[in-house]
Amino acid sequence: MITCNVYAYLGGAWTDITSDTLSSGALNYSGGIKGNKETDRIAGFGTLTFALKNNTGKYTPGSGTAHADWKKGMPIKVEFTRVTTKTKFIGRVNKIGLNYQYNNKTASITALSWLYFASQLPLDIPALQTDKRADEIINTILDFSPIAATAESIGTGVETFPYAFHDNTTKTTAYTEISKTVLSEWGYFYEKLDGTLVFEPYNGRASSQKQINVISDVTGFLLKEDGGYLLQENGDKIILEPYNVTTTDASATTINDSAFEYGEHIVNRVEVSVFPYRVGDQDVLVYKNEENQFVPNGATVSFRLQFTDQSSRLPIAAIAPAVKQYTLLHFDDNTDKGITGVLDDADLNTLRQAADGLYYPTTPFVSVGGNTTTGIFGDAFSGNGTTDYIYSPSQEKFNLRAGDLTIDYWEYRNSATAGAATLARDLTGGFSPFVLGYSDGAVARVYLTSNGSSWDIANAKSMGAITTGSWVHYALTKSGNTYRTFKNGVQQDTWTSSATILPSTASLGILRYGANYVNGIIDELRIIKGYAAWTADFTPPSKAYTMSGLNWSLHTGLLKTGTEITSSATATTSFGGAGLDFSITNSSGSDGYLTIDVYAQPLESLSPVSHIAEDTTSINAYGYFSERIDMRLRNDLVFPKTIAEAIVTDRKDPATVLNRISMVANKSDTNEALFMDCDMGDLVRVNDSLSGYNALNYIQGISWKASPGDDGVIVDFSWIVKEQ
Please tell me which residue, 383 or 324, carries the higher pLDDT value.
383
Which amino acid, residue 384? N
Q: Tell me the CA distances in angstroms from 37 to 264, 378, 647, 659, 719, one per residue in order.
A: 11, 60, 10, 10, 15
Indicate the residue type of 204.
G
pLDDT at 244 over 80: no
Terminal C-alpha separation, the chain: 32
140 DSSP assignment: H
Query: How many C-beta atoms surround the C-beta of residue 221 within 10 A?
Result: 15
Report the predicted TM-score, pTM, of the whole model to 2 decimal places: 0.73
Binning pLDDT at 50, 70 and 90, where does residue 363 land? low
What gap in Å lies between CA 72 and CA 94, rounded to an integer?
Answer: 5
Q: According to the model, what pLDDT value does residue 215 have?
A: 65
Predicted confidence at residue 251, as pLDDT, reads: 65
Q: How far apart are CA 656 and CA 648, in angstroms?
A: 16
Q: Which residues, listed in sequence order, are joined to residue 521 by a DSSP beta bridge?
A: 382, 412
pLDDT of residue 670: 86
Label residue 335 exposed, middle or buried (CB < 10 Å: 0-12, 13-18, 19+). Answer: exposed
The helix (run of H) or strand (run of E) holding residue 114 is helix 114-120
Q: How many Cα atoms within 13 Å fall on the side-chain side of residue 565?
A: 25
| 323-329 and 549-555 strand pairing | parallel
Lowest mean pLDDT among 136-140, 183-187, 293-297, 600-604: 600-604
- Residue 343 confidence (pLDDT): 85
What residue ranges do the domains of the chain occupy? Answer: 3-112+207-263+656-723, 116-200, 267-276+606-653, 277-322+548-605, 323-547
Least confident span in 93-107, 286-300, 411-425:
93-107
The DSSP annotation for 644-687 comes to: HHHHHHHHSS-EEEEEEEEEEGGG-HHHHHHHHH--TT-EEEEE
Confidence of residue 222 (pLDDT cuts 50, 70, 90): low
Which numeric CATH code is attached to 323-547? 2.60.120.200
Cα distance between residue 129 and residue 148, in whole Å: 21
Query: CATH assignment of 116-200?
Result: 3.55.50.10
* 8 Å CB contact between 423 and 437: yes
* Structure-model confidence comparison of residues 176 and 669, the more confident one: 176
Residues 6+ apart with CB under 8 A from 294: 301, 591, 592, 593, 594
CATH 3.30.160 fits 277-322+548-605, yes or no: no
Question: What pLDDT, on a 0 to 100 scale, did the predictor assign at position 349?
Answer: 44
As beta bridge partners, residue 122 has 173
Say how far apart CA 318 and CA 322 lie, in whole Å.
Answer: 12
d(CA 437, CA 447): 9
CB atoms within 10 A of CB 374: 12
The architecture that CATH gives domain 3-112+207-263+656-723 is Roll (2.30)
Residue 133 pairs in a beta bridge with 160
Strands 211-216 and 244-249: antiparallel
Which residues in 594-631 are b (16+ Cβ under 10 Å) and which e?
Answer: bbbbbbbbbbeeeeeebbebbbeebeeeeeebebebbb
Segment 279-306 mean pLDDT: 89
Per-residue pLDDT reduced to its tens digit, 639-666: 999 999 999 999 999 999 999 999 999 8
